[in-house]
Amino acid sequence: MAFNTGLSGLRAASVDLDVTGNNIANASTVGFKNSRVQFGDLYANGFLSSGTNPIGDGVRVQDIQQTFGQGNISFTDNGLDMAIDGDGFFILNNNGEVRYSRAGQFGLDKDGFVVNNQGMRVQGFQANADGNLSGVRGDLFIDSDNLAPRRTTNLRSELNLDSRQSVLEVSGTRIQTNAPAAGASIGPQTLTITYPDGTSRNVPVTAGSSASAVAESLNQEEGVSASARTEVLLNGGNIQPDDVFTLEGVDFTVRGTDASGNALTTAQQLSQLADDINGSSLSSLNATIDGSGNLRIISSRGDTLRLSYQDTTGTGGSMSFDAGGALSADKTNPSTQVGVLSVTLDRDVAMTAAATPPSTSTVLDGVTPSAFTSNTFDPDDQKTYNHATSTTIYDSLGNSHVMTQYYVKEPNNGANQGNSWSLYVQIDGENVGDPPNTSGEPSLARYDLKFTEDGTLESVNGSIDKEILISNWTPLDANGQPNGADGPRLVANGGQTPIPDPPVSSNFTLDLDDTTQFGSEFAVNDQSQNGYTTGRLSGLDVSTEGVLFARYSNGQSQTLGQVALASFRNTEGLAPVGDTSWVETFESGQPIIGSPDTGTLGSIAASSVEESNVDLSAELVNLIIAQRNYQANAKTIETADAVTQTIINLR
């Protein structure tokens, strides 16, 4: 009896030593779960046995129980490493066999599948082309191809337009003479400036005044801004090689040959002369060749322009071109002259000129001031708009373009006083208005914005949708030519909202729903659009929900899939099969599969692994205890043997 009892103890202690040694051996194994031996005593129970205190028959190993307690989580440099913080197992596909593991040391195989160190593929929920999780479970796959570009189909602007801004109002009147000035004289003239309150002022123009003098006089008046220039046109047919021109005291010679001695044509001679003038010290002059082959000299000052010359025959002459319209010459006139005066008036300010006799040539001959235009918009003149903001958008080829929004506050109009704005839209500096103008080109894109008394946007072009359809944009390259991307679909040709999916044109919508008009500085609170250029895969991220995101060089990210986790009613019933993995058994029950961080399933810690839950100190103590147990049971056998030997020696 004692031999059997001791022998059972040796067996049990040996198993305990094995289990403890296995725990110690895997103390650094990622995802390993330690085990412990559970013992039970033995008693011989027979049908006819009697006695209340039977003698025990030893010990047996009842079970080797796995403990699935949480291990410490440590960080790694691998973006695909994952640790489960809580309950659950990774699901692995081992060539058709399903295994479960807590070891999250993952990487990519040559085909792009997420695998563990043994090449088992990680199971998860797949995503479609739009990045939406489908709920279909399969092997997780990382597509390393470039992300295809996406054209802009929707742009959202959330702005605040400063209600304190003033209405910007301008008008322009261009007045100029277009007839030759030879023999003409400047007569007196009177300009009348009329103001909104009915008052007026007369600005006299004295005989012989230049355009610059007239402009200077006008600039003294309130609400008026004027500028002037002098233009001289020289007939190219009267210019010969080696002629010498003296312009404002600087000599210029007409060259008949180039640096290599080759003869120059008349057009080349004029071009060379224009280059010489433009490269001279006369910074206020600009010389160009017009379409008729004549040399045009413009003085930005609007003063008298003096020119003298000496031709090849030795004959000389001098001319004085006055911006006011007078030319005095002592030789046949080879030229014509134009004086140009530009005037800008404030709102409701008008300017009229008294009639002049036909025999008098002045800067106001034969013209009528143009009608007043309120809030004239010019994208090149910041004085004609209150606010502007730009956004990068993309065409169907992934090329970037700049869309600019210009906001102009409109004057009061009765019921909606002070709450009206105009929005102008250009892309790469080009108009995109629909319908096109009479020449078939895009018109100026202008939209009316109405705000309520509390500063919220009420309507756009009378529609409460507050959405604008841009339907006449042709993407252009750097040279201003169509770049091959999808072009517009005009409203007349079926362009409409919502934009079809997939899109078939360059049309997109501009949503202004949350734009306001408050009494604070202009601000871009939010501005976003859904387009992007092509991108290369630059990294991977994993969320706490186990969602895999691909990061691309264009700043975009896309959902590739989601890791699936499995839990069991009886985790201890799983059967270990090596490689830190388990398989389902009858005792464990069927797996309950779901997404991380849902239900009882734990969350995912990215770039991390779960360490072994082995407590090395405790295992070393257990090892000592198991050793003593083994020694003690061996002593039992030794003692029983000594007793038996004593009995044998009685003979």
Predicted pLDDT at 322: 40
Q: What does the alpha-carbon distance between residue 449 and residue 120 come to, in Å, rounded to a whole number?
A: 60
Look-up of token digits 């007939």 = 235
Three-state secondary-structure class, residue 493:
helix
Three-state secondary-structure class, residue 227:
strand
For residue 437, report the phi and psi dihedrals to the nearest 5 degrees.
-80, -175
Predicted pLDDT at 134: 85
Predicted pLDDT at 280: 85
Nearest to 512 by CA among 47, 63, 160: 160
Q: What does the alpha-carbon distance between residue 52 and residue 45 come to, in Å, rounded to a whole number?
A: 11
Q: How far apart are the first and last CA of the chain?
A: 22
The Cα-based distances of 240 to 128, 249, 455 in angstroms read 77, 20, 69
Token pair in block for residue 237? 């047919």
**Of residues 163 and 175, more confidently modeled:** 163
**Of residues 403 and 196, more confidently modeled:** 403
**What is the band of 5 on the pLDDT scale with cuts at 50, 70, 90?**
confident
pLDDT at 628 over 70: yes
Residue range 501-523, pLDDT digits in tens:
999 999 999 999 999 999 999 99
Predicted pLDDT at 635: 80
**What is the band of 336 on the pLDDT scale with cuts at 50, 70, 90?**
very low
Q: What does the alpha-carbon distance between residue 495 and residue 505 come to, in Å, rounded to a whole number?
A: 9
Nearest to 560 by CA among 127, 132, 106: 127
Torsion sign (Cα): 481, 483, 484, 488: negative
Nearest to 225 by CA among 342, 323, 320, 142: 342
Q: With beta carbons less than 8 A apart as the criterion, state whether 255 and 269 touch.
A: yes
Tell me the three-class secondary structure of 34-63, residue by residue: CEEEEEEEEECCCCCCCCCCCCEEEEEEEE
User: Cα 353 vs. chain centroid, distance in angstroms?
Assistant: 54
Q: What does the alpha-carbon distance between residue 205 and residue 229 come to, in Å, rounded to a whole number?
A: 17
Q: What mean pLDDT is predicted for residues 340-368?
A: 46
Residue range 470-494, pLDDT digits in tens:
999 999 999 999 999 999 999 999 9
- The domain segmentation of the chain, as residue ranges, is 2-69+613-648, 73-148+536-610, 154-168+375-529, 171-353
Q: CA geometry: angle at 169 spanning 166 and 173, to 5°? A: 160
Q: Which residues pair with 138 in a beta bridge?
A: 124
pLDDT at 360 over 90: no
Predicted pLDDT at 471: 96
Q: With beta carbons less than 8 A apart as the criterion, state whether 321 and 327 touch.
A: yes
Q: With beta carbons less than 8 A apart as the criterion, state whether 211 and 338 touch.
A: no
Which stretch of 34-38, 262-266, 305-309 has the lowest confidence by average pLDDT?
305-309
Residue range 275-330, pLDDT digits in tens:
888 888 877 778 888 777 777 777 765 555 555 555 544 444 444 444 333 333 33
Predicted pLDDT at 48: 57
Q: How much of the chain is helix, strand and coil, in % rounded to 5?
A: 15, 40, 50
| DSSP assigned state of 629 | H
**Of residues 212 and 358, more confidently modeled:** 212
Predicted pLDDT at 304: 53
pLDDT at 421 over 60: yes
Residues of 444-475 as b/e, b for ≥16 C-beta within 10 angstroms?
A: ebebebbbeeebebbebeeeeebbbbbbbbbb
pLDDT at 615 over 80: yes
| DSSP assigned state of 351 | E
Percent of residues, the chain, with pLDDT higher than 70: 77
pLDDT at 548 over 80: yes
Q: What does the alpha-carbon distance between residue 571 and residue 586 come to, in Å, rounded to a whole number?
A: 11
Residue range 550-559, pLDDT digits in tens:
999 999 999 9
Torsion sign (Cα): 486, 535, 469, 162: negative
Q: What does the alpha-carbon distance between residue 286 and residue 280 come to, in Å, rounded to a whole number?
A: 10
Which stretch of 6-20, 263-277, 359-373, 486-500 has the lowest confidence by average pLDDT?
359-373
Residue range 67-84, pLDDT digits in tens:
999 999 999 999 999 999
Q: CA geometry: angle at 357 spanning 351 and 361, to 5°? A: 80
pLDDT at 355 over 70: no
Predicted pLDDT at 323: 37
CATH code at 154-168+375-529: 2.60.98.20
Q: What does the alpha-carbon distance between residue 399 and residue 555 come to, in Å, rounded to a whole number?
A: 15
Q: What mean pLDDT is predicted for residues 17-25?
A: 91
pLDDT at 238 over 50: yes
Average pLDDT of the chain to the nearest whole number: 81
| Cis peptide preceding 358, ω within 30 of 0 | no
Q: With beta carbons less than 8 A apart as the criterion, state whether 1 and 603 touch.
A: no
Q: What does the alpha-carbon distance between residue 645 and residue 564 come to, in Å, rounded to a whole number?
A: 66
**Of residues 110 and 648, more confidently modeled:** 110
The Cα-based distances of 542 to 80, 462, 558 in angstroms read 7, 47, 11
